[in-house]
Chains A and B, each alone.
Chain A
Amino acid sequence: MAHPDILIRARGLTKRFGDFVAVDGIDFELSRGEVFGFLGPNGAGKSSTMRMIGCVSPPSGGELTILGLDPVRHGPQIRAKLGVVPQEDTLDVELTVRENLLVYGRYFGLRREEIRDRTAKLLDFVQLTERAGDQVDPLSGGMKRRLTIARSLISEPEILLLDEPTTGLDPQARHVVWDRLYRLKQQGVTLVLTTHYMDEAEQLCDRLVVMDRGKIAAEGSPRRLIETYSTPEVLELRFALHEQEQAAEKLADLPAERLEVLADRVLVYAQDGDEALAAVRGRGLAPVTSLVRRSTLEDVFLRLTGRQLED
C-alpha cells in the first residue's frame, strides 16, 4: 500500500447510470487531517462521488481505495470508520434527539454506556443539549443539520463526509454549522465536503477540486486556485439595462486581463480594480454601481467553465 497518510485514493473513478456518466474518470487523493472539498454546481457529480466514497454506490470504473481497502469488498469495515452527513436529512423524526444517537451508535456496535457518554458530549458540541429528550420532527432545519453532524460523529470516525452540509439553511444557521465544522477542523478531523457555495469552500477547505460535468476542472488550495485562474481584484460594473451591451463593447480594449459579460453585470479582471475603474470612467462610461473586490472561487469557476456556480 502507498503512503499511510493517504486515506482516499481515486484513479479514473467513474460512475454511470445507464448512458449517463455522472462521474467521468476523476483522480484525487486525500491526506489525513486535511479538509478536502468538491466544489461545483448541481449535477457536477459531487454527490455521486461522495456516495462512492461512502461505500453505498459501487463505482462503474476506475480505482478507489479508502483507508487502504476496496469499498466493494470491504464496505462494512470502511463504513465503520466513516461519518456521513448526507445532503438530505435522514434522521428518524419519530424518535427523540437522544434516541437518534442511540440507534445510530448501536449500528456501529457501540455499548449503551459508551453511547450515553458520547451523546452528552456531542449534543453539547452541537448545542442541542436542551433538546435531548424532544422529538426530532419539530426541530428547525439548522438544528436537524447539527443533529445529523452529531450523529455522524458518534462512532468517532476517521473521515467525516459532508454532502452539501449547509444547503437549504438560512444564513444564520449556516454560520453556526460552519463554526462547528471549523472546530472539527481545528481538532484535526479529516473532512471531505461537497458544496456549491464558494464561500463555504473558501472558509473551510485546505484543498479542493473544482468539478464540472463529471470531471475535475482544477485542483489546489483556494488561494492557489484564485492566483492561478484569476486576477487579484475584480471590478464589478452594473449598467442601466439598455446600456449594458454598448458599454461592454466600449470596455473590450480596456487594459484589463479579462472581461466577463454576465446577464446583469460586467466583471473586469484586473491587477488593480481602482485603476480599472478610473479607466472605465475615462471612457465616459457611467455605471449605475461599481464595486472593487478580491477574486473568489466563483471567479475561478467562471473562468474554468464559462458558467456561474450559484444561480
Chain B
Amino acid sequence: MARAYAVRQLRFWLTNYRRTWKGSIYSEVLSPVLYLGAMGLGLGAMIDKHGTASLGHVSYLAFLAPGLLAATAMQTAMGESTYPVYGSVKWLKTYQAAISTPLRPADLFHGHLLWTTLRLAMGSAVFLVVMTAFGAVRSPWALACLPAAVLTGLAFAAPIEAYAMTCSKETSFALLFRFGVIPLFLFSGTFFPVTQLPAVVRPLAYLTPLWHGVALCRSLSLGDAQLGSSAVHVAYLVAVVAAGIYAGQRTYRRRLYA
C-alpha cells in the first residue's frame, strides 16, 4: 500500500517531466561531452605528457571520467532535491494539495526519491555512453558504475531533501551550493587524487560521500576494484542514504502536518 502511494507521487513527477524533458536531455548529453572534451582531452593531453604515475598509470581522461560521473550524479541530485521540493511546498503548494488525498507526507518523500533515482539512472546512463564513446572506459566493470553513481546521487538527495523541507528561505540553497557542492566537486578526488591534498585536510575528503562515490566509480571503470574497499564505499553511501530517509520522513511530516 505504502509503496503504491509513493508510485502515485512518482507518476506526478513523470507528468511534470513531460514539459521539460527535451531541455534536460540536451544538457545531460552536452555536459559530459564538454567536460570530457575540455578537461579529459584538452587538459589531459598536457598532464599525460608529464607522466601519470600519481594517477595510477592511466590517462587523465580515464582517471577523470568516472570521477565526473559521480560528481555529476551529486549535482543532479542537488538540483532535484532543493528547488523542486522547496517549490512544491512553498511556491506551488502542490504538496499541500497532495496530502489532502490518501497520500501521506512520507509517500511524497519516497515518491520524489524514486523520481530522483530514475533521473540519476537516466543521467548516469547517458554519461556512461559518452564516456565510452570518448574511450575513457577501461573495464566491463564500468557497467556497475551505473548503480554506483545512482547510489552516490541518492546519498546527497535523501539528506538534502530532508533539509530542504526545513527551509523557509531559498537563500539556504545558494549557500549550500557555494559552500557545499562546489568545494566537494573540486576537492573530493574528482579532478586529482586526494593524496595531493595536505595531510591535515585529507581525512575530511574521506568523510564526504562524494569521495566514496568517486573512488567506487573510478575503481570500477578502471577495473581495479577490490571487494573490501568497494564494500566499505557502498556501506558508507547506503548508511548516508538511510540516515537521509530517516530524517526526511520526519521533516516532511513536521512541515506538512502542522
Known contacts being A88-B93, A90-B94, is A95 close to B100, with CB within 8 Å?
Answer: no
**Contact A77-B97, Cβ < 8 Å, known A56-B256, A56-B257, A57-B258:** no
A99 to B12, CA, bound (A): 10
Please tell me if the beta carbons of B104 and A76 are within 8 angstroms of each other in the complex.
yes
Asked if A107 and B96 make an inter-chain contact with CB atoms under 8 angstroms apart, the answer reads no
Please, how many angstroms separate the alpha-carbon atoms of A95 and B5 in the complex?
Answer: 21
Closest A-chain residue to B94, C-beta based? A92
Contacting residues, chain B, for A91 (C-beta < 8 A): 97
Contact A108 B100 (CB under 8 A): no
Q: Is B57 an interface residue (CB 8 A)?
A: no
Give Cα A84 to B103, complex, Å: 14
Instruction: Report if B226 contacts A (CB, 8 A).
Output: no
Total number of B residues with any Cβ neighbor in A under 8 Å: 25
- The reply to whether B257 and A93 contact each other, CB–CB distance below 8 Å, is no
B99 contacts partner chain A, Cβ-Cβ < 8 Å? yes
> Known: A92-B94, A99-B15. Contact between A107 and B102, CB under 8 A?
yes
Decide yes or no whether A21 CB sits under 8 A from chain B.
no
A86 interfacial contact with B, CB 8 Å: yes
Q: Is B92 within 8 A of A86, CB to CB? A: no
A57 CA to B257 CA, complexed, in Å: 5
Query: By the criterion CB–CB under 8 Å, are B97 and A79 in contact?
Result: no
Give chain B interface residues in 1-48, CB to chain A under 8 Å.
Answer: 1, 4-5, 8-9, 11-12, 15-16, 19
Q: Please determine whether A108 and B93 come into contact, CB atoms closer than 8 angstroms.
A: no
Question: Is the pair B15, A79 in contact by a Cβ cutoff of 8 Å?
Answer: no
Q: Is the CB–CB distance between A76 and B102 below 8 Å?
A: yes
A106 within 8 A of B: yes
Contact B257–A82 (Cβ < 8 Å):
no
Closest-by-CB residue of A relative to B93 is A90
Interface membership of B225, Cβ < 8 A? no
- Residues of chain B within 8 A (CB-CB) of A92 are 16, 92, 94, 97
Complex: A283 Cα to B36 Cα, angstroms: 96
A80 touches which of B12, B96, B98, B102 (Cβ 8 Å): B102
A103-157 at interface with B (beta carbon < 8 Å): 103-104, 106-109, 151, 155
Given A57-B257, A76-B104, check contact A95 B99 (CB 8 Å).
no
Known contacts A75-B104, A76-B104: A107-B92 contact under CB 8 Å = no
Q: Is A220 an interface residue (CB 8 A)?
A: no
B101 at the interface (CB under 8 A from A): yes
Residue of A nearest to B87 (CB): A94
Name the B residues within 8 Å of A17 (CB-CB). Answer: 258
- Measured between beta carbons, the chain A residues less than 8 angstroms from B94 are 90, 92
Residue from the list A79, A90, A94 in contact with B96, Cβ < 8 A = A90
A103 near B12: Cβ-Cβ < 8 Å: yes
Residues of A within 8 A of B103 (CB): 76, 107
Q: Is B8 within 8 A of A107, CB to CB?
A: yes
A58 located at the interface, meaning its Cβ lies under 8 Å from any Cβ of chain B in the complex: yes
Q: Contacts of A104 on B, CB cut-off 8 Å?
A: 97, 101
Assembled-state Cα–Cα distance A54/B256 (Å): 12
What distance in Å separates the Cβ of B89 from its nearest Cβ neighbour in chain A? 10
* Distance, CA A158 to CA B4, complexed state (A): 23
Which residues of chain B come closer than 8 Å to A109, judged between CB atoms? Answer: 4, 8, 102
The minimal Cβ–Cβ distance linking A168 to chain B, given in whole angstroms, is 15
Q: A208 in the interface, Cβ–Cβ < 8 Å?
A: no
Give complex CA distance A244, B4 in Å.
67
Closest to B95 in A: A90
Q: State whether A77 touches B102 (Cβ < 8 A).
A: yes
A177 close to chain B: CB less than 8 A: no
Interface 0/1 of B92-118, CB less than 8 Å to A = 111011111111100000000000000
The contact string, 1 if C-beta is below 8 Å from chain A, for chain B 139-180, is: 000000000000000000000000000000000000000000
Q: Is A102 an interface residue (CB 8 A)?
A: yes
Closest to A84 in B: B100
Report the minimum CB–CB distance from B112 to chain A (whole Å): 14
Most A-side CB within 10 Å, residue of B12, B97, B103: B97
| With A92-B92, A94-B92, A106-B12: A56-B102 Cβ-Cβ less than 8 Å | no
Inter-chain contacts of B98 with A (CB < 8 A): 107
* A132 CA to B84 CA, complexed, in Å: 25
Beyond A76-B5, A95-B16, is A54–B102 a contact (Cβ under 8 Å)?
Answer: no
A257 to B100, CA, bound (A): 47
CA distance A155 to B103 in the complex (A): 14
The answer to whether B15 touches A108 (Cβ under 8 A) is no
Cα–Cα, bound, A79→B100 (Å): 6
Name the residue on A nearest B103 (C-beta).
A107
Instruction: Report the minimum CB–CB distance from A298 to chain B (whole Å).
Output: 31
A91 to B104, CA, bound (A): 18
Contact across chains for A106 and B11 when beta carbons are under 8 A apart? yes
The 6 A-B residue pairs with the shortest CB-CB distance, nearest first, are: A107-B101, A90-B97, A84-B100, A76-B102, A90-B93, A80-B102
Q: Can you list 19 pairs linking A and B with CB atoms under 8 Å apart?
A: A56-B99, A75-B102, A76-B1, A76-B5, A76-B104, A79-B102, A80-B101, A82-B100, A88-B93, A90-B94, A92-B97, A94-B16, A102-B15, A104-B97, A104-B101, A106-B11, A107-B12, A107-B101, A108-B101
Chain B residues within CB distance 8 Å of chain A? 1, 4-5, 8-9, 11-12, 15-16, 19, 92-94, 96-104, 256-258
